[in-house]
Structure 1
Amino acid sequence: MYLVENAKIAFLDKGDFQDSEKTTSLSKLKPEIKAQTLPVDILICDGEIVKNRFSEVRHV
């Protein structure tokens, strides 16, 4: 088990992406959303981890 304290986690939906039908790539985030999520450690969209700064995090 890995415990991460003080992690910044953001939950996104497909509306936060420029082309919400095709991808959840970070490069397709809307500019205003991208600026807000820069300091975030983990981004989750529709149950998928899109960005993870902690390489040792594993799904259990």
Structure 2
Amino acid sequence: MLKIIILIVVGFVVYKIFFDKKIENNSTTTKDDSDELVECSNCHTFVPKSECKWTKNGCLCKDCQ
């Protein structure tokens, strides 16, 4: 019985080390998405995400608000 428990523990440790890898985000972009450009739903110009007002129909730029 003790051998089975040890085998299960060793198997769990091996699984955690080799197969349970977390997905890492290795992108070079910044975490702040304010520089990302989005299209205004009214005039179809591209503006920074930080300058948009979000509505149920999409984003509106400063000029369309």
* Category of TM-score, reference length = shorter chain: under 0.3
- Structure number with the bigger relative contact order (C-alpha 8 A, sep ≥ 6) is 1
TM-score normalised by structure 2 residue count = 0.19
Query: Higher helix fraction: Structure 1 or Structure 2?
Result: 2
TM-score normalised by structure 1 residue count = 0.20
State which structure, 1 or 2, has the greater radius of gyration over its C-alpha atoms: 2
